Amino acid sequence: MDDTRATPVEPTAYQRFDRYNRLLHGVLMFSFLGLAFTGMPLLFSDAAWAVRLAGLFGGGRSAGIVHRTFAVLLIACFVLHVWRLMHRLYVKKDLEVLWGPESMTPQPRDVVEMLAHLRWFLRLGPQPRFDHFTYWEKFDYWAVFWGMGIIGGSGLVLWFPEFFSKLLPGSWFNIALLVHGEEGLLAVGFIFTIHFFNSHLRPDKFPMDPVIFTGRVSHHELMEERPAEYERLQRAHRLDEIEVGPAPGWVPTLAKFVALVAVTFGLVMVGLIVYAVLFARL
Amino acid sequence: MTFTSSVPVFLLAACLTATTALAQKPAASAAPKPPTNDDCLACHGDPSATGASGRSVAVLPDKFAASIHGQSGIACVDCHADLARSADFPHGEKLAPAACANCHADPAAQYDAGVHAVARRASKQSVAAACKDCHGTHEIRSSKDPDSLTYHLNLPATCGRCHGNADIIRRGRIAIGDVVAQFQDSIHGQALSKSGLMVAPDCKDCHNAHDIKRKNDPGSKVFRTSVPATCGKCHEGIQRRYQHGVHGDALAKGRPDAPVCVTCHSAHQIQRTEGSAWKAHVLRECGTCHPESTRTFRDTFHGQETQLGFMRVATCADCHGAHDIYPKSDARSMVSSARVVETCRKCHPGSSASFAKYDPHADRHSHARNPMLFYASKFMEALLIGVFAFFGIHTALWASRAVKPDVHVKPRRPDAGRRSQE
């Protein structure tokens, strides 16, 4: 940040996430936290905290109603996201959605970069030169995408069992319940530990990376963290296309507050799960 | 004092009376007469009358007159029979106990066979109840009299004078403790004390009035195998259903672990069965004999919800029935293939045969019972372990690499490591 101030000739920031995606991520965060806090009590119903936590939502019944309300919100997020992808693909004929550096599709370079990154961890090689999306960002994305399908699908089956019994035998509800819970646990555990670390808590980002809230990365950040993207855009003379002014002053403040709250709640949830796994289940 | 006639004359008169007019009342005998009630009350009618030890020996005349013995013209010396032959008044401090058995032979015989009499015979210091401890002394009333200590609505409090008294419970080593407090909070106690229902049972309806026996005595009304008949006196319809069901059948076959009424409902803390508290409670009760079923129930939606305190979901009795439980293979069973859809429909109106294939006791660890679920569970376990193992290591390595920047490690490619340190 200071570098950009020190070199005023450089643009203030480049846009990484547009308002649509920032907003979707905000709703996603909010609903995900809500789903975690109303869902985990059911999965860990044998832990004492589960009863209290469900009690905060007015007991098992109303926790269930809150859970389904957040679920509707998250499904709406998912639909809006897929709608936009389809729009880019079919209306704008933007094939970069499917392949290339700006696509979320896993590509050979992700494997190469992951191996190089691991070598760098072990001080056996240089840091890989990442482009727009890194392999762990793609993993985060697909984990959520897959999770939406699996958890959302199984959740709907559990919500409307009488309807789904026309399509599936009831024994699948048992599988839906298992998968819904275990996938939920995976998602909660992953987001509240791995995603938090990768995106916010790792030493060079600590305590948080505000990019998902401000949508902006500094010139320095882009060059340092995504040199391949920077050089690619420079070569194509497209850097000025994504150049934006500084975010309004309240945005970073709000971002810090929201992120702090989310990380705190998330880590509390992880603590409760670890406690339940260690002490209530064994 | 008026009774100062000479001892020999009185004794002679007593002997003559005994041989010639045994069945007649002493009052009818020749002089010198035994003391009349008025004679006794001349001293004892004074409310401040005390014995040598300072203990009150007062007998309030109107209380005695209102008692069943006063009403029926019983004389003091009918019960205090040793004084009928005494000529030395004021009489001595120590009197023989009132001889209730002289008139009440049957209840006395029943009492003699009961737990209180046994305890009293076993120890002189016993605190076990004698006749007067439940019936009172001079103020005894008919058990049909609402003011009687043994009236239906009053009996629990009367038993509670000992069975709700911490000191007596301790000294009498009464294992069950303050049983009257338990009873008062139960559906039966509430029906008696709060609703004033004469059809609700008091203590004697299950335990007898005089012939009270321990629950491990085969002659007791509350002996395990006798419990269904005892409860069935009032709950006859339930008893019939129970007898036909799997639990009653097991009891009839002599199985020692067959549950009877009190096994699930408790003896004294019987609750209403409509409420959430009971639904939560009965889960534990069923679970004491069916731990596996409780475990698998807990692992599925209904069990998870009830664990959180939301009881408007199915628990044991909602699907299996309460008293007329049959094996699944029996067509009468609510979970038999013939009836299971109808059972699901109680809560899920749109249930079908397909819907009813849901297993409310699915066991993800059992390949035999739920093969698909078993493999789904194994897949999920592998997925979770795989993801967390990989990213756990990934994160740990990254963290350790990032906190110690490579100040003295030279990048392999001069242009790759540090590029923009301007």
DSSP string, A10-45: S-SEEESS-HHHHHHHHHHHHHHHHHHHHHHHHHTT
Do the domain assignments include residue B138? no
Is B402 within 8 Å of A122 when comparing Cβ atoms?
no
Contact list in A for residue B402 (CB cut-off 8 A) is 202-204
Nearest chain A alpha carbon to B397:
A121
**Candidates A45, A175, A198; nearest CB to B307:** A45
Contact list in A for residue B362 (CB cut-off 8 A) is 174
Q: Which domain holds residue B384?
A: 366-405
Which residue, of B67, B96, B125, is where some domain finishes?
B96
In A189-248, the residues whose Cβ lies within 8 Å of chain B are: 189-190, 193-194, 197-198, 202-204, 220, 223-224, 227
Do the domain assignments include residue B14? yes
Q: How far is CA B16 from CA A185, B20, B83, B408, in A?
A: 100, 6, 17, 131
Which residue, of B96, B127, B152, is where some domain finishes?
B96
* Structure token digits, residue B357: 């294939």
d(CA A242, CA A233): 9
Which residue out of A7, A165, A206 would a mutagenesis test of the B interface target, given it has the greatest number of B Cβ atoms within 10 Å?
A165
Is B300 within 8 Å of A136 when comparing Cβ atoms?
no
Interface confidence, given as ipTM, is 0.90
In A56-75, the residues whose Cβ lies within 8 Å of chain B are: 59-61, 63-64
Do the domain assignments include residue B399? yes
d(CA A56, CA B270): 31
Tens digits of residue pLDDT in A31-51: 999 999 999 999 999 888 999
pLDDT at A8: 47
Instruction: List, edge to edge, every strand of the sheet that includes A243-244.
Output: A216-218, A13-15, A243-244
Contact list in A for residue B377 (CB cut-off 8 A) is 178, 182
**Candidates B362, B401, B420; nearest CB to A121:** B401
DSSP string, B361-373: T--TT-TTT-HHH
**Candidates A126, A177, A223; nearest CB to B411:** A126
Q: How many domains does chain B have?
A: 2
Do the domain assignments include residue B26? yes
User: Minimal Cα–Cα distance from A92 to chain B, Å?
Assistant: 36
Is A165 within 8 Å of B354 when comparing Cβ atoms?
yes
d(CA B130, CA B116): 7
Do the domain assignments include residue B51? yes
pLDDT tens digits, chain B, 422 residues: what are they? 334 334 343 433 444 444 444 444 444 444 457 888 888 898 899 999 888 888 889 998 999 999 999 999 999 989 988 888 777 778 888 888 888 998 999 999 999 999 999 999 999 889 999 999 999 999 999 999 999 999 999 999 999 999 999 999 999 889 999 999 999 999 999 999 999 999 999 999 999 999 999 999 999 999 999 999 999 999 999 999 999 999 999 999 999 999 999 999 999 999 988 888 888 888 889 999 999 999 999 989 999 999 888 888 999 999 999 999 999 999 999 999 999 999 999 999 999 999 999 999 999 999 999 999 999 999 999 999 999 999 999 999 999 888 776 554 444 444 444 444 43
Which residue, of B96, B123, B150, is where some domain finishes?
B96
Do the domain assignments include residue B326? no
Cβ–Cβ under 8 Å, residues A117 and A135 = yes
